[in-house]
Chain A
Amino acid sequence: MVDPIQASRQPRARSNLTRGWPFLPAGVVLLVLFLLPMTVMVAFSLWRTNSDLDVVPDWTLDNYIYFFSEGTYVRTFLKTLIMAAAVTAAGIATALPFAYFLVRYVGRRWQRIVLLAVIVPFWTSYLLRAYAWQAILGEKGALNQFLMGIGLIDEPSRLFVYNDLSVWLVLLYVYFPFAALALYTALEKFDFNQLNAAQDLGARPDQAFRRILLPQIRPGVITACIFVFVPILGEFLTPTLVGGAQGALIANLIINFFRGLQYTTMAAFSFVIAGFVIVVLVIFRRYLRVEDVVARG
């Protein structure tokens, strides 16, 4: 679908080099500082660690096979996927109304203030904030004291902490700003007059929302999902701090190998996880399309 007027405005083709040069610094960083070092890690994943804790270049698929042969890793990975999905869903659900409120009903200057207010608390050490959550959710913590104070419960509950619920809650807390920023960015460019126009033409508010707003902020929503879901697959600190004995997510198991200098196993497991994510992204690439569609009028 080529608009002849637009086509006439395109420059005649130049070499890819001059067209894509702003990509170069990022490309160099990615290639030199990431892909190249990762090839070493790929090699590690196919080697083994001997009993002296040294990496030995014996080629083997054992590390990968071990991930699938020992049931605990697949089960934990599934549990992690579910947790990540649950946090992502909750993150979008909580951040979207927040971002919507900011963009629609708050003056521009105050928007910036509120955004900063959202992110600045996260410039403190995560460990300290997790300890604060322990103090809030714990048996003698603030939440229990509050609930007892208003008479809702008679004795302190141990339900709030050191289980999957607290992991979910604290993960939601940690990743909320990422979702909020991504959604804010998407909503901010949306022209709300369209909603009014739709309603003038007889649409109900929820119809206007669903069929006009959501499709236009879809790239932002996808970005928010990526920002929350993907890093959670690598989260190990939160499960340790508030997850209790049963709280381990897949990254905990991987990090255990890391702390024991089993880099070969760790690398293989990491690539299995990454491979899975890549497969998902490829399958859903239609929704992730990045190239510019013809500009909307």
Chain B
Amino acid sequence: MADGIDPLELMPVSRMARPLRALLRGWAGVVLGFLYLPIAFMVLFSFGESRTPGLPFRGPTLHWYQEMLSNGVLMEAVWTSIQLAAVATTLSTLIGTMAAFPLVRSGFRSAGAARIVFTLPIMLPGALIGIALLIFFRRALGVDLSFWTVVMGHIVFTMPFVVLIVSARLQGFDRNLEWAAADLGASPARAMRHVVLPLIAPAIVAGALISVTLSIDEFVITFFTVGPQSTLPTYIYTQIKFGVTPEVNAVATVLLLGTVLLLGLAWAAAGQARRLSRIFGRRRPGGGK
């Protein structure tokens, strides 16, 4: 569907289309409200006076933001978590996407079984994977725990999601497009870059988004595979004895704002880039919708 062009204007549609669209739009609004309701409260509590985040709300105060900034361990933990999520997601998405192709296409007799094996890490509790990796790293491989051992731990349980979602998308992929590209003289690599990848891009992006989400709040596997570093989830989940303070809410709020800002900038930049490329007449790759 092209940008901003409403199908209802272009095609003849049934009488039900307009009320249906209004209904669906309302539903989307309800869903987004449902998703953000707890977020609103989470942000609210970061401005509360009490040491325990919750109702009743008294405040507002910036005290916890100040506390957060002076908490060196917490700041380091946040930074480590961001790096961890970035690296693990990149590798996981790369490896997972690559694996999806032979899984779907090359007619492995046991592709179905392979898919089940890929689902195994999702079936088993993170605690089991964490302990198993700890013992494996230390006793079988004899390596010290470090940032990279955590990355590997995260890849183990995020990669299946990427594989599953990309391979679902690859199923029933219209090979005629690739063959047409070949007929027009494109090498397989070129066809991959300009035909296949853009069309499965939503699946790759979805897989990456899921990986980040899983990695950024993963506690158990991280605890058992991390070296002498702190991550944000381990910081938060270990406040058992005396409870979390709204410092953590402050961190979450700042991260949320930061992410939104970053994505907003990226979106604006992408918009500019596209505008520029239109002006300079370079054709965009990819076909289809």
- Check whether chain A touches chain B (CB < 8 angstroms): yes
Binding site for B on A (CB under 8 A): 6, 9, 16, 19-23, 25-27, 29-30, 33-38, 40-41, 94, 97-98, 100-105, 107-109, 112-129, 131-136, 138, 140-142, 173, 176-178, 181-182, 184-186, 188-189, 191-192, 196, 199, 205, 216, 219-220, 222-223, 226-227, 230-231, 233-234, 236, 251, 254-255, 258, 263, 266-267, 270-271, 273-274, 277-278, 281-282, 285, 288-293, 295-297
- Report Cα–Cα, A263/B209, bound state, in Å: 32
Q: How near does chain A come to B86, taking the closest CB pair, in angstroms?
A: 12
> How many residues from B make CB contacts under 8 Å with A?
117
Known A34-B129, A40-B132, A124-B255: A22·B111 in contact at CB below 8 Å: no
Q: How near does chain B come to A215, taking the closest CB pair, in angstroms?
A: 10
- Which residues on B sit within 8 Å (CB–CB) of A177? 35, 209-210, 213
- Which residues on A sit within 8 Å (CB–CB) of B4? 107
| B271→A223 contact, CB < 8 A | no
| B16→A205 contact, CB < 8 A | yes
Q: Top 5 closest A-B pairs, CB basis?
A: A26-B99, A132-B38, A37-B132, A22-B98, A132-B41
Known A98-B27, A184-B202: A296·B161 in contact at CB below 8 Å: no
| A292→B213 contact, CB < 8 A | no
- Which residues on B sit within 8 Å (CB–CB) of A254? 125, 127
Output the nearest chain A residue to B35 by Cβ-Cβ distance. Answer: A121
- Report Cα–Cα, A178/B210, bound state, in Å: 7
Q: A104-B24, A219-B169 are in contact. List 14 more A-B contacts (CB 8 A).
A: A26-B95, A29-B155, A33-B136, A37-B140, A123-B213, A131-B53, A132-B39, A173-B34, A205-B14, A227-B210, A231-B122, A234-B123, A274-B120, A285-B112
Residue in A116, A142, A173 whose Cβ sees the most chain B Cβ within 10 Å? A116
| B252→A22 contact, CB < 8 A | no
| B125→A255 contact, CB < 8 A | yes
| B132→A23 contact, CB < 8 A | no
Q: Would you call the interface of chain B mostly helix, strand, loop, or mixed? A: helix
Asked if B196 lies at the interface with its beta carbon under 8 angstroms from chain A, I say: no
| B206→A226 contact, CB < 8 A | no
Partner of B119, one of A9, A116, A123, A281: A281
Asked if B289 lies at the interface with its beta carbon under 8 angstroms from chain A, I say: yes
Produce 1/0 per residue, B164-187, CB < 8 A to A: 110111111111100100100000
- Report Cα–Cα, A271/B123, bound state, in Å: 9
Partner of A132, one of B45, B175, B212: B45
- Report Cα–Cα, A103/B24, bound state, in Å: 11
8 contacts between A and B (CB under 8 A): A9-B182, A33-B153, A108-B2, A119-B213, A128-B53, A266-B125, A274-B120, A293-B172
| B31→A33 contact, CB < 8 A | no
| A121→B256 contact, CB < 8 A | yes
- Which residues on A sit within 8 Å (CB–CB) of B120? 34, 38, 274, 278
Binding site for A on B (CB under 8 A): 1-7, 11-14, 16, 21, 24-25, 27-28, 31-32, 34-42, 45, 53-56, 94-96, 98-99, 101-108, 111-112, 114-129, 131-133, 135-136, 140, 152-153, 155-156, 159, 161, 163-165, 167-176, 179, 182, 199, 202-203, 206, 209-210, 212-213, 216-217, 232-233, 236-237, 244, 248-249, 252, 255-256, 259-260, 263, 267, 271, 289
Q: How near does chain B come to A231, taking the closest CB pair, in angstroms?
A: 6
- Which residues on B sit within 8 Å (CB–CB) of A140? 55-56
| A22→B31 contact, CB < 8 A | no
Q: How near does chain A come to B237, taking the closest CB pair, in angstroms?
A: 7
| A296→B174 contact, CB < 8 A | yes
Partner of A108, one of B3, B124, B127, B249: B3
Partner of B103, one of A23, A119, A128: A23
Q: Would you call the interface of chain A mostly helix, strand, loop, or mixed? A: helix
Q: How near does chain B come to A252, taking the closest CB pair, in angstroms?
A: 11
| A290→B216 contact, CB < 8 A | no
- Which residues on B sit within 8 Å (CB–CB) of A233? 123
| A123→B168 contact, CB < 8 A | no
- Report Cα–Cα, A273/B210, bound state, in Å: 24
- Report Cα–Cα, A37/B131, bound state, in Å: 9
- Which residues on B sit within 8 Å (CB–CB) of A27? 99
Known A30-B118, A98-B28, A296-B172: A123·B255 in contact at CB below 8 Å: yes
Partner of B42, one of A40, A114, A128, A273: A128
| A131→B237 contact, CB < 8 A | no
- Report Cα–Cα, A297/B175, bound state, in Å: 9
Partner of B165, one of A135, A138, A185, A274: A185
